Amino acid sequence: MEIVEKAPAKINLTLNVLNKRPDGFHEMRMVMTSVDLSDHLTFNERNDQQITLTSNAAFIPLNRKNIVYQAVHLLKERYEIQKGVDINIDKQIPVAAGLGGGSSDAAATLRGLNRLWELGLTLEELALIGEQLGSDVPFCIYNKTAYATGRGEVIKLIHEIPQCWVILVKPPKGISSWTVFEELDLASLPHYNHDKMIEAINENNYEEMIRYAGNALEEISGKYRPDIKMIKGKMEKFGADVAIMSGTGPTVYGLTQQYSKAQRIVNGLKGFCREVYLVRTLK
């Protein structure tokens, strides 16, 4: 039996960092949603114990270093699975981009193997398992709009955001999350009102949603990647209603509800960056 799972990218509508926790992680408050830029993972069962990974992407590890491999290994150990799996990763989400591509692949792996091996686990149970793989994995299990707390692993689903076009621009060089968090001066970080953001989303109020959008890590990441600020400026100039960095960056996204405006923004940005994507938010 062959199983295929979609692994969508995520964007942060708000991102706040509160404090450093005793476990070394930072306490986060984030409103996130999924967008229709997706990897696709294909699973085929093996009768031996082997885990094999293949991919169209030349730049990702196809061994134990890959979070997909780690997700398989975790399920096999936890449920004493005596079978292996061949997994193909059709990679479309940029790597080290702030879009949660690796986390979404891990989440898709947990969902896919749950079906392949008929484990009968709920999404809530899969999200709890996903916590062991990474902070964004529980959110990616659901692929809905959600409010995330803790280090990002405590998920509360909220209403879907008003439908809009999302323009994603990934600068040539990625950025490591660890690099950004090492540089944090918590007292100097801006704070964005996630309560107002959630209220705006629940009321399906697009204007209020873009008013309260923001990412507290943007300035820090911008020190490493000055093109973040340049791309934001270009997006706003070409007509985006709001332009914000996602996650720890360096990808910047812009929002608009008008397709013609979205196309104009895309055309304007293609001269500055090779990786420009026009997608919809997921329902």
SS3 readout for 171-214? CCCCCCHHHHHHCCCHHHCCCCCHHHHHHHHHCCCHHHHHHCCE
Place of tokens 């030349």: 58
Strand partners of residue 5: 41
pLDDT for the residue 1 = 83
Q: Could you read off the pLDDT of 28-50 as tens digits, one per residue? A: 999 999 999 999 999 999 999 99
Look up 39 and say whether it is catalytic. no
Q: What are phi and psi of 192, to 5 degrees?
A: -110, 140
Q: Residue 183 above 80 pLDDT? A: no
Look up 65 and say whether it is catalytic. no
Q: Could you read off the pLDDT of 110-136 as tens digits, one per residue? A: 999 999 999 999 999 999 999 999 999
Q: Residue 205 above 90 pLDDT? A: yes
Q: Residue 16 above 90 pLDDT? A: yes
Mean pLDDT of all residues in 82-100:
95
The span from the CA of 262 to the CA of 238, in Å, is 9
pLDDT for the residue 179 = 84
CA angle 156, 11, 75 (to 5 degrees): 60
Contact between residue 263 and residue 254 where contact means Cβ atoms under 8 Å apart: no
By CB atoms closer than 10 A (0-12, 13-18, 19+), residue 47 is: exposed
Mean pLDDT of all residues in 195-202:
98
The span from the CA of 144 to the CA of 249, in Å, is 21
The mean of the pLDDT values for the chain is 95
Strand partners of residue 35: 9, 281
When comparing pLDDT for 174 and 80, which is higher? 80
Q: Spot the catalytic one: 39, 105, 136, 227.
A: 136
pLDDT for the residue 174 = 82
**Which range (94-98, 114-118, 137-141) has the least confidence?**
94-98
Mean pLDDT of all residues in 233-255:
97
Place of tokens 């791309």: 231
**Which range (77-81, 91-95, 228-232, 279-283) has the least confidence?**
279-283
* CA neighbor of 153 nearest in space, from 171, 140, 169, 166: 140
